[in-house]
Structure 1
Amino acid sequence: MTDLGNQSRYWNSTGTSKTFGHPVDPAWLDGVDRRARVLDYGCGYGRLAGLLAEWGFENVEGVDVAPRLVARARERHPGTRFTVLDRPPHLDVPDGGVDVVLLFAVLTCLPDDAAQRALVRELHRVLRPGGRLYLSDLCLQDDLRNLARYERFAGKYGTYGIFETGDGAVCRHHTVDWWDDLLADFTLVAGREVAVETMNGHPARATQRLLTRP
């Protein structure tokens, strides 16, 4: 049975071939010193970490649970640091040691409530007061394909919005109320919706939030 708190087996096999396209708004990083410590949690093959390095950020690190994805990231972006997480979500970072965290399309791949809460607590710990959390993920969609999946798997997983992809992953689209509760220890700065393509090539609307640690 799939471990809903850590799907590393999927991401180290089928998931290595996926591509990701959630956009980053450079304006949400305005005022961040280019020497600031930036962490891309769930970096995959290094798309975002590599992009930030291109924008002049000098201290970017990507972390992920899948060694094969991290190897791909290192090959694509040899000048950027990438680390395999041995005990996710634990980070080998002191309290308040990070200035910015990117969390892009990670919660959807971590459908378990307790696992999401543990991850958010760890990110809160490592962010300095005033540090930024830039979140991009998927709330509930309103198209017929997704509505049918939500209904089909709600009984099996006990949460409306969790579904199986058909190629071995279990994913989750979220209610806004859940996000509000999950992120209650952060301060919301900005929010928006953007058009994205999912890892399996389907159009979707992603919700992005910029938050700070008080």
Structure 2
Amino acid sequence: MATHSELRDFWERRLERDWTESGVGYRALGRPFNTWMYRVREEVFLREAGRLGLSGSSVLDVGSGTGFYVRLWERLGAADITGCDMTDAAVARLRERYPDHRFVRQDAADLDAFDDASFDALSCMDMLFHITDDDRYASAVREFARVLRPGGTLVLSENCLQRPEQRGEHQVNRTLEWIAGTANKAGFDLVRRVPMLVLMNAQVDASLPWRKTWGGVLRLAALTGATGWLAGAALYPVERRLVRTRRESPTTELLVCRRRV
């Protein structure tokens, strides 16, 4: 596995070159397919975060990337939005794109720029599985609890495996038991878990034959920008239905946690 410094350098280079949906998403599938994928992510986030009644709240978005979820918090009526990212490339561009909000370079495992109990809600989307060191992951979740007010809300997306964990150089897919246990130790109660995607992402919690087969199908469909756009457009209505009707997903899920009082 890569060290923390190597991971930061990896993301610094990646976002410097590609500050788009493909840069922060499933890069092998290209930007046109990722654009459709992020439409589904947007709908799920707005539906689930919208039901929490956080209009007028103070929000911290950790791992802001391109600012995709900053924009969604704006739509949900958050009164005060702060974002942070571990890369200079993202922070500089976020400040230009969203001049009315504050952005700082901070690592999720050490949010020392923020005081205790200073936010009503915190989002951390598609980022935690890129923390390959378990201790740093646990430290990040403890930091989330520290900066949230008692009763505050944590919204995150994760690959919650019910099969054995999968470890790679830049990503670790952990088990639901480990993720929920880590959140519980940090002072969170898991109150809701729903699919964020079903077919439009790597099938990390499926059998190996299906995982390889479907991954190959997606990469073949996205060989060019045009075919990737068509594949995304074809899957989009199917995916919208699946994320509304399924209780669990073989890929990314959205979790809502509450900081215990």
TM over 0.5: yes
Partner Cα separation in structure 2 for residue 77 and residue 186 of structure 1: 30
Partner Cα separation in structure 2 for residue 86 and residue 27 of structure 1: 26
* Higher deviation after alignment, 113-122 or 204-213: 204-213
Partner Cα separation in structure 2 for residue 71 and residue 28 of structure 1: 27
Partner Cα separation in structure 2 for residue 57 and residue 43 of structure 1: 16
Equivalence map 1:145-164=2 (5 Å): 160-164=165-169
Check whether the contact 1:194–1:208 (CA below 8 A) recurs between aligned residues.
Answer: yes
Counterpart among 191, 194, 212 of residue 193 in structure 2: 191
Structure 2 gap ranges (5+): 26-37, 203-217, 220-231, 233-249
The SS at the match of 1:209 is strand
1:85-106 deviation line (CA, Å, top 9, x unaligned)? 1785223222211100001111
1:4-45 deviation line (CA, Å, top 9, x unaligned)? 487211111124420443441334343534331100011112
Q: For residue 123 of structure 1, what is the aligned residue in structure 2?
A: 144
Q: Aligned pair 1:207/2:253, yes or no?
A: yes
Q: Which has the higher strand share?
A: 1
Partner Cα separation in structure 1 for residue 138 and residue 107 of structure 2: 18
- Relative to structure 1, the CA distance from residue 98 to residue 27 in structure 2 (aligned partners, 3 Å threshold; closer, same or farther) is same
Partner Cα separation in structure 2 for residue 208 and residue 187 of structure 1: 14
Q: For residue 62 of structure 2, what is the aligned residue in structure 1?
A: 41
Partner Cα separation in structure 1 for residue 84 and residue 53 of structure 2: 20
Partner Cα separation in structure 1 for residue 120 and residue 6 of structure 2: 25
Identity of aligned residues (%): 27
Check whether the contact 2:73–2:81 (CA below 8 A) recurs between aligned residues.
Answer: yes
Q: For residue 67 of structure 1, what is the aligned residue in structure 2?
A: 88
Q: For residue 112 of structure 1, what is the aligned residue in structure 2?
A: 133
Shift of 1:174: 1.3
Equivalence map 1:1-12=2 (5 Å): 2-4=2-4, 7-12=7-12
The SS at the match of 2:115 is coil
Check whether the contact 1:5–1:110 (CA below 8 A) recurs between aligned residues.
Answer: no
Q: For residue 98 of structure 1, what is the aligned residue in structure 2?
A: 119
Segments ≥4 residues shifted beyond 6 Å: 201-204
Check whether the contact 2:141–2:182 (CA below 8 A) recurs between aligned residues.
Answer: yes
- Relative to structure 1, the CA distance from residue 80 to residue 179 in structure 2 (aligned partners, 3 Å threshold; closer, same or farther) is same
- Relative to structure 1, the CA distance from residue 96 to residue 56 in structure 2 (aligned partners, 3 Å threshold; closer, same or farther) is same
- Relative to structure 1, the CA distance from residue 6 to residue 135 in structure 2 (aligned partners, 3 Å threshold; closer, same or farther) is farther
RMSD: 2.9
- Relative to structure 1, the CA distance from residue 87 to residue 175 in structure 2 (aligned partners, 3 Å threshold; closer, same or farther) is closer
* Higher deviation after alignment, 173-182 or 13-22: 13-22
- Relative to structure 1, the CA distance from residue 103 to residue 189 in structure 2 (aligned partners, 3 Å threshold; closer, same or farther) is same
Shift of 1:171: 0.5
Q: For residue 146 of structure 1, what is the aligned residue in structure 2?
A: none
Aligned residues: 193
Partner Cα separation in structure 1 for residue 162 and residue 181 of structure 2: 19
Check whether the contact 2:61–2:82 (CA below 8 A) recurs between aligned residues.
Answer: yes
1:159-201 deviation line (CA, Å, top 9, x unaligned)? x41113xxxxx101111111121111211211111216559x8
Computing the radius of gyration over CA atoms, which structure comes out larger, 1 or 2? 2
- Relative to structure 1, the CA distance from residue 54 to residue 74 in structure 2 (aligned partners, 3 Å threshold; closer, same or farther) is farther
- Relative to structure 1, the CA distance from residue 86 to residue 118 in structure 2 (aligned partners, 3 Å threshold; closer, same or farther) is closer
